[in-house]
Each structure stands twice: as C-alpha cells, then as structure tokens.
Amino acid sequence: MKYKVVKAFDWAHKGVDFQAYALDEEIDHAEVEDALIEVGLAEGWIEEVGGSGNSPENKGQLSPAEKGKITRATKQLQEAQLQMANATTDADKKAAEELVNESQEKLDALNK
C-alpha cells in the first residue's frame, strides 16, 4: 500500500536512521516499518493513496488508514476528557462536555 505525505516530518527508522519526508512524497508501506505508517496516519502526516485494502487476506482487518482514524479519534476524546476534568467554570465544563460527547460519537461511528 502507498501513502502520500501531507505534512512534512522526520522519522528515525529503527530509532537511529533519520530521514526527512517532504510534502507530496510517496511512501511504500512495504519499504518501511509499520510504526511509521501507524504514527504517520495517527498524527495526520500521511494519507493512503490508491488500492482499496479489500484483498481477501485483509478481509475483516482494519487498514492502517482506518487504524489511524480511530487512533486520532481516541486521542481527541482523551484530550476532551482531560479538558473537562480541568474545567473550572460552568461555561468551560459545558463546552468540554459537548466536546467529549462529539468526540465519543465520532469514535463510536468509526468503530461500527
């Protein structure tokens, strides 16, 4: 599967081999470790291009893009929950509660 860089970033392959990825650069998943794809999708640095990921061997499994969306939604929910816990005024609490509800709905929709 191939991915396109949508936000330039640096990556340390195997923790030591640093490489800069430029905007619009294409990354072949077969040539990099899974962690780069998972983190890149979760952080919004890359997005999937071409291919459906619906081959028989992948049936019933989430694609890296889907995993990335779920990871981002989970992170947003956790941040909203923290914001709600730290809210000091009623207005802040209400805004944070709405954000938690929206984030939870988004996560629930992705997990269906």
pLDDT digits (tens, 9 = 90+) for 46-103: 998 865 444 445 556 777 777 778 888 888 888 888 888 888 888 888 888 888 888 8
Tell me which H or E stretch contains 12: strand 9-13
Q: What is the pTM of this model?
A: 0.48
- Burial class of residue 2 (count of CB atoms within 10 Å of its CB; 0-12, 13-18, 19+): middle
